[in-house]
A = this chain, B = another copy of it.
């Protein structure tokens, strides 16, 4: 191989050449699609590659389910208001939530951390304490990782590994017409928690002597800073003998996720605005901030609840559970992906979730 050293490795930087295209033109999903559309899997053991919450590998009796996520300071978290232990915990939550969304049980994690020299040993220990606490709560083995310096800030990448019987796995693509659409917990809280924190940060920036006004926001703050993965729902559904027909976790907002399910299942849907579960404190905070609570649920993201579809005959098993809410049903593809508003109008759902490339 002849190596051509380009002194100007900068030749791919946007500001150097107007013919180059900024990533913001495509956004996250557009870029992923561009990079991965020609990738085909070759190994028999690779049961599922890119395109769902996690990948699936078969090694014998059980399927191995794998997912990875990277959280970066200044993009996914703000060190001004993020306790380090919570940050470690949340990084695990984000990852095993993807494993749960495959109807699999998370078992192991690998943890890679890149950090600048400004962070002390004590800081990294706090992050690790949060990770270890999550490993205890979710019964995970920490089996590896990497530690490195970073020129600035903090980057955490976690890979989560789970297992499931082949027949238990649930993909985004399995929704059938007339299936019920179900969501766990309630939505929009994490987004309002973020709004509260950002407001207080601004106040503090203008006058560091003012104490933060966080009273009455315990719920939304906890949703933002220390979300839980709904492994309990996976266990519950198994106990009740309910296998969802499709499933996804809500990281980018209900709108983005129901679109994933509908598109990958080649179906449409009707969601009912008045059925979307929103906690009273989320609702109150949204009104205080002059934000429509439904918008928080649809586009806020970071709730890490599960969105899934079940056959309509499972309704009896679902309806009594206060952790689960039926919010609509699957239709044929031609009917589109629609929200029936409180005013009984049908309006197409568009993904306006947070895209950090835009």
Contact = CB atoms under 8 A, between A and B. Distances in A.
Interface residues of A, number: 114
A1 interface: yes
A57 interface: yes
A83 B17 CA distance: 17
Interface string A16-29: 01001111111010
A36 B25 CA distance: 42
Nearest to A76: B148
Nearest to A118: B13
A322 interface: no
A163 B221 contact: no
Interface in A286-300: none
A32 B147 CA distance: 7
Contact of A15 (B6, B57, B118): B118
Contacts of A237: none
Interface string A137-149: 0010111111111
A41 interface: yes
Nearest to A107: B43
B141 A31 contact: no
B149 A12 contact: no
Contact of A222 (B1, B63, B163, B212): B1
Contact of A155 (B70, B119, B141): B70
Interface of A: 1-7, 9-10, 12-15, 17, 20-26, 28, 31-32, 34-36, 38-39, 41-43, 45-46, 48-50, 54-55, 57, 59-64, 66-70, 72-76, 79-84, 86, 107-108, 110, 112-115, 117-126, 128, 132, 139, 141-153, 155, 157, 159, 161, 163, 197, 200, 204, 208, 212, 214, 218, 221-222, 225-226, 356-357
9 closest A-B pairs by CB = A60-B60, A12-B123, A55-B143, A20-B120, A60-B61, A59-B59, A157-B157, A74-B151, A55-B144
